[in-house]
Structure 1
Amino acid sequence: MKKQELIHLHGLLAELQSQFDAAGETVSEEYRELGVQPTSIHRSKTDHKAAVFALIHGVTDELEGDENTAETEAVTATAD
C-alpha cells in the first residue's frame, strides 16, 4: 500500500474514532499515545501504519464489547 493510500485509510479510521468519541466511547488510548494524526503527512509510512493498526484494534475491541452486551436476534438470509 502506498503512503498516500495509507494516510487516506488513516483519515477514514480517525473519522470512525471521532464518531465513537461523540458517543462517549473511547476507542484507543494507544492511538492517542502515538501522536500521529492523518494530517501528519511528514510522518513516516511506518508511523501511519502503526496508527492504523492501533485504530483498527481499538474499534474491533469496542465492537466485540458491544456484541457481548447487546441482545442478538437471528436474521434470516434472504436475497432481494
Structure 2
Amino acid sequence: MKKQELIHLHGLLSEVRTRFETKTDSESDFSSYDEQKTRPTSIHHSKNDHRNAVLTIADDLTANMMKTESKTVAPHAD
C-alpha cells in the first residue's frame, strides 16, 4: 500500500472512531492510539508510522466495538 493510501485509510478510521464515540454511550478506550504521535494530518511522518497507527486504531476500534456488542453473531457464507 502506498503512503498516500495509508494516510487516507488513517483518516477514514479516525472518522469512524469519532462517529463510534458519538453514537455509543459506553466508555471508549483508545489509549493505545492516543499514545502514538502519528495522526492522519501528520503527512511528514513515515509510511511505517502511518501503518502502525492504522493497525493500532483498528485494534482499538475492534476492542471497543466488541465491548458494546450484546450478542455474538455466527459467521456464515451466503
TM-score (norm 2): 0.79
Distance 1:20 1:27 in 2: 11
- Choose the corresponding residue for 2:28, options 14, 26, 31: 26
1:50 maps to which residue?
52
Structure 1's unaligned 5+ residue stretches are none
What is the number of equivalent residue pairs in this alignment?
74
One-letter amino acid of the structure 1 residue matched with residue 33 of structure 2: Y
User: How much does 1:62 deviate?
Assistant: 1.2
The higher relative CO (CA closer than 8 Å, separation ≥ 6) is in 2
One-letter amino acid of the structure 2 residue matched with residue 29 of structure 1: S
2:14 maps to which residue?
14
TM-score (norm 1): 0.77
User: How much does 1:27 deviate?
Assistant: 4.3
Percentage identity across aligned positions?
44
In our comparison, the structure showing a higher alpha carbon Rg is 1
Distance 1:28 1:56 in 2: 10
Residues 39-77 of structure 1: CA deviation (Å, up to 9, x unaligned): 10000011101110111101111111122xx2568xxxx
1:65 maps to which residue?
67
RMSD: 2.2
Structure 2's unaligned 5+ residue stretches are none
